[in-house]
Amino acid sequence: MLNLVNKLFGSSYSRRLKSYKTIVDTINKLEPQIKSLSDSEKIEFLRQMVRIRRFEEASLKYYNAGKMGGFLHLYIGQESIAVGTASLCGDNDHMITAYRDHGHALAVGMSMNECMAELYGKKTGCSKGKGGSMHFFAPDKNFWGGHGIVAGQTPLGLGLAYGLKYNEVKGSALCFLGDGAVNQGSFHESLNLAQLWELPVIYIIENNGYSMGTSQKRSSAFNNCLAGRGDAYGIEWDVGKGNDIYEVRAKTKEAMDRARNDSQPTILEFDTCRYQGHSVADSNAKKYRSPEEIDYYKENYDPINVWKNSLLEEGVIDENDYKEIDNAAKDEAKESATFAEESPFPEPSAITDDVYFEVDNQTESGKQGKHFFHD
């Protein structure tokens, strides 16, 4: 019990969870998650996290080699949040996120090939080479992007939840955002409607401590945590360690049960750390935070190492198993770059395709230029 408590409540997280009752409640939530997972599921989570990291590292390598342009927001250091939450999703659960979307895309089952090709701007990309890094989509997997406007996805996530309730479908909409996006007006408007209309939306704040290059303390007024702003709207909220899949799954499952069964919203906040700058264009990344800060997190809280060590301790894997997983991920990332390199660019004439469904499919309204109105 003591080892579990120490593992769960170290670092800044201990400042948020001060009462014994909270500690006991958290452990009680985690226990079913620990017991319910098979060894193969645990290994699969490790494989997915490693795949995300090796994909991101390859993306950075080829970006720096001039193979792609535009923005590139890397998910390195946050892998356990996307993998843990996506692992709980069923047919009626949906995901939507902001511009740091590569990890979520891979976690829901998108291939490295279609993702890397999109970064290269190629026709074989998930958005046909027109979206780039910030606009990965997979409607067939209930993954709705990838959005470049800060907090712009929050009302869209609300809309996904509204659609579920309107159609009387028991499901949930998981909407991810960063700690900087919580200060945007559209997010607060979404919270108001989420509670007013009792919608099954779960807002998941991936708190890496920095809004681009501005620390949380300098950008946000808060009392212990950002998720607590839900109190103003009567919305249930919770906080957790984003580097621990057991905890991510436990907190998220409770929120998803609330959404599916009671059609009620939730705000979750997971502490995490991004190892790279806000994007590759963030030239001041080493100035607004010290290398020691990042190194300390890597050494003590890296999500892949935390999960890997947990599986080693449980006897689920050995070091050779991990090497095989790691090498396979590296090979897959390298092969995806070859696929992207050899894929064709979209034809210039296709630039106006995929803008309006009505036009592409020659519906009656599309022929008349009435894309939004029917009279």
Per-residue pLDDT at 1 exceeds 50 = no
The secondary structure of residue 348, as a DSSP letter, is G
Q: Give the range among 54-68, 196-210, 282-296, 327-341 with minimum mean pLDDT.
A: 282-296
Average pLDDT over residues 2-10: 45
All residues at 6 or more sequence positions from 10 whose CB lies less than 8 Å from its CB, including other chains = 300
Q: Is residue 270 within 8 Å of 240, Cβ to Cβ?
A: yes
Domain boundaries, the chain: 42-344, 347-375
Residue pLDDT, tens place only, 260-298: 999 999 999 999 988 877 778 766 667 777 788 888 888
Class of 42-344 per CATH? Answer: alpha beta
CA dihedral 107, 85, 328, 295 (to 10 degrees): 110
